[in-house]
Structure formats: C-alpha cells, structure tokens
Amino acid sequence: MEKDKKVEPKFFLVRTSVGQEMTSALLIKNRCETEKLPVHSIIVLPDLKGYIYIEADSPFPVEEAIRDIKYVKRRVQGSLSVDEFRKYFEEKPVAAEIRVGDTVEIVSGLLKKNRAKVIEVNPERNEVTVELDGAIAPFPITLKMDSVRVVEKSSGKL
C-alpha cells in the first residue's frame, strides 16, 4: 500500500434546522478549531435551506464535529467528490431560459415590477430587448438579462 497516496477530500451533507444553517456552521467551526479536527471547510449555500456541506477526508471527523451541536440533526449518508460538488457552482446561462415571446417581469431599475414581452435576446452581450405590456406606444427597451425574470413562457405558464 502506498503511503504517499493523497486522499481526495469529500463533501458531506449535514441536515440542520431551517434558518439555522449559519449558526450551525459557526458552532461546528468552533468545535473543529478547539478539538483540532481535520475538517477542511464548512459551506453554507444560501439557496439550500436546512443543509450545510462539510469538506473532510472521511466521515469520522464530520461525525465528531456535529456531535451534540444545537440545530444539527444528522449527517446525510453518502458523500460528494470535488467534481460532483463543483457542478453546483457552475453558472447556468440565463439566455437559455429566456426566449422571444416570453413574458418577463423587470426586477431592477426604474421600470421595476413592470411586465414586458421579449422581442429579442442577445446572449453574447447578455442583454434582452423587451416591450412593456399595456404601453400606449410600445417601444423597445434593452436590459441586462439579470434584471428580468421570466413569469410566463411563450408556450405556457411556469
């Protein structure tokens, strides 16, 4: 058996009380520092309610780190490799979601909360051209894709 073989860290999912992810992560961090546990990182994703990720070489330091911590329920069985975990951070192209004919809601700027119909999508520049619904004289307005949200697809509701 090779002694120099490097063990690739894994990500373990830990179930917590919803809304207490950051508190749980801080308590786990303090335990890891005081007991010198071999935990590499603790990750709280804002879109993932009730769960945190802990990076370690094996599940044993994770079990020790979460033992008797308030708001932590249990460790979910299994683990993710670094490559499997990385896919959660890949940016999804917004252009693939927005199509000509879709109804969108403007979420930022002076026209916030107005609905508009998409007339052109420019993925290279990350822009979308829309016409406001209900306007007396509709005229094209070009906006950044991250300033609109699709509320109705051209083929049907979401």
Lowest mean pLDDT among 36-40, 108-112, 128-132: 108-112
The domain defined by 94-157 folds into SH3 type barrels. (2.30.30)
- pLDDT-derived band at 10 (thresholds 50, 70, 90) equals confident
Asked whether the beta carbons of 136 and 145 are under 8 A apart, the reply is no
Q: What is the mean pLDDT of residues 130-155?
A: 87
Answer yes or no: is pLDDT of 2 > 70: no
Residue entry with tokens 């508190």: 23
Pinpoint the residues of the chain covered by CATH 3.30.70.940.
10-89
Q: State what percent of residues in the chain have pLDDT above 90.
A: 48
Pinpoint the residues of the chain covered by CATH 2.30.30.30.
94-157
Q: State what percent of residues in the chain have pLDDT above 70.
A: 89
CATH fourth-level superfamily of 10-89 = NusG, N-terminal domain (3.30.70.940)
- pLDDT-derived band at 34 (thresholds 50, 70, 90) equals very high
Of 114, 113, 108, 117, give the one whose Cα is nearest residue 153: 117
User: Which residues, at least 6 apart from 56, have a Cβ–Cβ distance to it below 8 Å?
Assistant: 9, 10, 12, 38, 39, 40, 62
Asked whether the beta carbons of 95 and 68 are under 8 A apart, the reply is no
pLDDT for 55-89, tens place per residue? 999 999 999 999 999 899 999 888 888 788 777 77
Task: State the Cα–Cα distance between residues 148 and 2, nearest whole angstrom.
Answer: 54
Q: Which residue would you say has higher pLDDT here, 20 or 157?
A: 20
Answer yes or no: is pLDDT of 93 > 70: no
Answer yes or no: is pLDDT of 154 > 60: yes
pTM of the model as a whole: 0.56
Average pLDDT value over all residues in the chain: 86
Q: What is the mean pLDDT of residues 136-145?
A: 89
